[in-house]
Structure 1
Amino acid sequence: VAGEAFPPALANSVVELLPGCEVHNLYGPTEATVEVTGSRYVPGADRLPIGRPIWNTQVYVLDAALRPVPPGVNGELYLAGVCLARGYLGHPELTADRFVACPHGEPGGRMYRTGDVARWTKDGQVEYIGRTDFQVKLRGQRIELSEIVQVLTGHPDVAQAAVIVRENQHGDKRLVGYVVPDQGADLDAAELPEYVRGRLPDYMAPAVVVPLAELPLTPAGKLDRNALPSEYETLPDSGEPRNAHEEKLCALFGELLGVEKVGIDDDFFVLGGHSLMATRLSARIRKQFGVDMPVRTIVRYPTVAELAALVLTGGIPTEDVDPYAVVLPLHDDPGTGKSPVWFVHGGGGLGWVFFAFAPYVRDRAAYALQSRGWNDTDPLAGSVQEMVDDYLAHIRATQPEGPYNLIGWSFGGPIVHALAEALERQGHQVALMAVLDAMPSSGFKELSGREENAFRKEVAEFLGEFMNTGNLDHLLDTMGKVGANNRALMKDYDSPVYGGDMLYFHAKLGRDWGSYAPHWKQHVLGSIEEFDVDASHEYLHMPKAAGQIMRVIAGRLD
């Protein structure tokens, strides 16, 4: 078989229909004289490599800098050897783009850039993943859509699959899968995202999978991605509004999320919402109904019906939470008697991202500390020591006695370290001090972005991957002011020496200068226990990373 990707399910069917017949998978573009690799299919295998190169042909899997990647790592497939064509007749510019100098063979040799994504297996075969045309970047992660399709079609009840990135009118993006069930199969598409999570990283799992009778095709017989229906067009009716409050909330959900039809049982977060979008919903509810609906209430009661009931009955918690207060409760004390967990903000000063961490410690209260100045009235901190003293007072006011559990991310790392040292010096017990990919104060000395506009630009670029930042001027302006002040203060501070232990979590993706854990040794007299996290620094709050971190921390707390 050659010419198209060969799904293992189809290979199994061939073996069943033709017992005793060997099945070979061949690969090769026309530019390299048709076939250049091949492999024999082993019945029952869930992967079907394109195999090893034939005689007198060289195959390379390279990164963007044309360096070979190790087995198991995706790269672009390049071909070399006597099999290559001379180029494209009458198209020198296209020839120069695709037939490039080969740095790995004889001097003067050329190689062909296939545009295919592949990787080496441990036994020295090449595995085809997909086309570079179908690579996407979503929330900082580069994703091969073909890899998700491969997993979906590996499900026993799925005949065909497709995956695309959908973007609503506000710029929010998410993965959407489409599947055609196998004939006679009783497929529950709602379970497929979890099926993908069991085989790929969490960030590659579609937000929703839509079942279709057939995939739309172009006249040439290829998948017509533009004709795939919106996931919202296929959702079952979740109930019509029963009163004016539900009607208005359905309209608010639809407007914010870019969804044409919303039912009363639709979940804000299932429809594509996230914590930043929830702040917009909170503001719109305040404007529409004249009541405050804290973000944490929306997280707890995310459907139209639940929120409308709260508005109608006045059931909104009376201890209204200021989202910009120095102490932000992430969830209530469940009354177990266990000591709380305190999270400390990053450079921008807000603790909202810790809503992703709090569900792992529901057996105790959880709070986030936030920078002063977000409410437009309190002055910014004048020094790191002033900030530490202020936070210490707030912690002691809420939790007078230890043991204390402290977690800090980024800028919050040296802050929790200083808080732990101060509490220890005052005779209090620090049970846990965890630092999430952060430097001691010395690492901030030469850090750029101390100007408001520079920090604001950093934040805008980061948030731009999640949402449209066009109407977030006030938030961006304030974060620029607070963040620039925080960075400037840290350059004049020297981290103290703490006598206890540290849990250190290293974000191992996205950069190559290694862990900061060794830099903490001169500031920590106890042990430093280090854990790797499969994420880059700025994405530690994403589901997979937050889960990796908090499962370790929850275990230590227990």
Structure 2
Amino acid sequence: GASPATGGSMLEVLLPLRPTGSRPPLFCVHPAGGISWPYIGLARYLADHPLYGLQARGLAGPEELPATLEEMVADYLEQIRAAQPAGPYHLLGWSFGGVVAHALAAELQRAGEQVALLALLDAYPLGAESSQEAAPLSERDVLTLLLDAAGLSEEGPLDEELDRDRVMDLLRRKRTIPAELLEERALAAVIDVSNNNVRLLRGFTPGRFDGDLLLFTAAQPAPDSPPDDHPTPRAWQPYVDGMITIHAIASTHHHMMRPEALAQLGPILAAALEETGRRRPTQGS
């Protein structure tokens, strides 16, 4: 298939998944692994909205990783404003990216901008993140993550003596994953980025967002998680002044961009974007 990015690298910080459209863009913040190209799956549900992914620094080439979540937020704000200089803004984040999206929303408001939509995919503040998310990632975890993203994980969890070359071969043949991401250097970077992001989350307290929150929860527990491990949406209440609307999606945390989950959440997200468009007085006729 064609690569969604036009020119440039698939590992850049601002990834134009679909740069065209007459409506306001939706900015999607990466999960802990730092990559945002799985969000391309949203494109078919969001007519006429440009779609951008924010990706972690350190993937495209060696560079210093952010020391704090605030530093990451300031960086991503610059990226967002380069693509869309003024609001209203529409933000989405999955997992770790949800905490960043919420922080971006609060920061944009502090700068006097309007945030019309804040949508989170199974994201929770403050160490409320399930414990599995907080464990440092190994290479095996990253390969599992890539197999997942490529839709190849139906065969069940990877065995301990995972043959990396076999996995890479599988991924190259499937061609749903940007080739650059399958290079040795990029894989190592995903591990560093993930572990850094988990560390950033531990040291961060969210601010307050004065608006509504659209929260999609993963209704199916991860195969290996203890039954009571899942944080509750109530964890967001101290950090959101508006209404929290919750939609349970029949999916596990890691499969929120799979076709089955997208079929559930895509239309709800599209309707929410429509709604924000209707609430605003439009310029011109």
Provide the C-alpha distance between the structure 2 equivalents of 1:360 and 1:444, rounded to a whole number of angstroms: 28
TM-score of the aligned structures, taking structure 1 as reference length: 0.41
- 1:323 matched to 2:39? The reply is no
Q: Which residue of 2 aligns with 1:461?
A: 144
Aligned amino acid, residue 135 of structure 2: G
Q: CA deviation at 1:464?
A: 4.3
SS at 2:78 equivalent: helix
Flag the structure with higher strand content.
1
Residue of structure 1 aligned with 2:112, choices 419, 422, 427: 427
Provide the C-alpha distance between the structure 2 equivalents of 1:444 and 1:492, rounded to a whole number of angstroms: 13
RMSD, aligned α-carbons: 2.0
Q: Which residue of 2 aligns with 1:296?
A: 4
SS at 1:504 equivalent: strand
What are the superposed Cα offsets for residues 355-385 of structure 1, whole Å, 9 maximum, x if unpaired?
1112211312110000000012332112100
Identify which of structures 1 and 2 has the higher relative contact order when contacts are C-alpha pairs closer than 8 Å and 6+ apart: 2
Provide the C-alpha distance between the structure 1 equivalents of 2:242 and 2:56, rounded to a whole number of angstroms: 29
Q: CA deviation at 1:497?
A: 1.5
Provide the C-alpha distance between the structure 2 equivalents of 1:535 and 1:340, rounded to a whole number of angstroms: 26
Residue of structure 2 aligned with 1:521, choices 227, 237, 240: 237
Q: CA deviation at 1:339?
A: 1.1
Residue of structure 2 aligned with 1:510, choices 218, 221, 226: 221
Aligned amino acid, residue 8 of structure 2: V
- 1:382 matched to 2:98? The reply is no
What are the superposed Cα offsets for residues 148-183 of structure 1, whole Å, 9 maximum, x if unpaired?
xxxxxxxxxxxxxxxxxxxxxxxxxxxxxxxxxxxx
Q: Which moved more, 1:376-385 or 1:454-463?
A: 454-463
Contact between 1:357 and 1:547, CA under 8 Å: does it hold in 2? no
Change in Cα spacing, 1:525 to 1:539, as seen in structure 2 (3 Å) is same
Q: How many residues align?
A: 240
What are the superposed Cα offsets for residues 200-240 of structure 1, whole Å, 9 maximum, x if unpaired?
xxxxxxxxxxxxxxxxxxxxxxxxxxxxxxxxxxxxxxxxx
Structure 1 residue runs of 4 or more that deviate by more than 4 Å after TM superposition: 444-447
Residue of structure 1 aligned with 2:90, choices 399, 405, 412: 405
Provide the C-alpha distance between the structure 2 equivalents of 1:488 and 1:501, rounded to a whole number of angstroms: 28
Q: What pairs with 1:23-422 in structure 2 (closer than 5 Å)? A: 295-296=3-4, 320-334=7-21, 336=22, 338-422=23-107
Provide the C-alpha distance between the structure 1 equivalents of 2:141 and 2:59, rounded to a whole number of angstroms: 18
* Structure possessing the higher radius of gyration over alpha carbons: 1
Contact between 1:409 and 1:436, CA under 8 Å: does it hold in 2? yes
Q: What pairs with 1:431-442 in structure 2 (closer than 5 Å)? A: 431-442=116-127
SS at 1:469 equivalent: helix
Q: CA deviation at 1:456?
A: 2.7
Provide the C-alpha distance between the structure 2 equivalents of 1:431 and 1:340, rounded to a whole number of angstroms: 11
Contact between 1:505 and 1:531, CA under 8 Å: does it hold in 2? yes
Contact between 1:321 and 1:328, CA under 8 Å: does it hold in 2? no
Provide the C-alpha distance between the structure 1 equivalents of 2:231 and 2:247, rounded to a whole number of angstroms: 10
What are the superposed Cα offsets for residues 320-345 of structure 1, whole Å, 9 maximum, x if unpaired?
132011100011323x2x21101010
> Which segments of 5 or more consecutive residues in structure 2 lack a partner in the other structure?
154-165, 170-181, 275-285
Aligned amino acid, residue 506 of structure 1: T
Aligned amino acid, residue 409 of structure 1: W
Aligned amino acid, residue 504 of structure 1: L
What are the superposed Cα offsets for residues 8-42 of structure 1, whole Å, 9 maximum, x if unpaired?
xxxxxxxxxxxxxxxxxxxxxxxxxxxxxxxxxxx
Provide the C-alpha distance between the structure 2 equivalents of 1:551 and 1:332, rounded to a whole number of angstroms: 20
Change in Cα spacing, 1:374 to 1:548, as seen in structure 2 (3 Å) is same
Aligned amino acid, residue 326 of structure 1: V
Aligned amino acid, residue 296 of structure 1: P
Contact between 1:449 and 1:455, CA under 8 Å: does it hold in 2? no
Flag the structure with higher helix content.
2
- 1:449 matched to 2:135? The reply is yes
Contact between 2:219 and 2:248, CA under 8 Å: does it hold in 1? yes
TM-score of the aligned structures, taking structure 2 as reference length: 0.78
Contact between 1:321 and 1:329, CA under 8 Å: does it hold in 2? no
> Which segments of 5 or more consecutive residues in structure 1 lack a partner in the other structure?
1-267, 269-293, 298-318
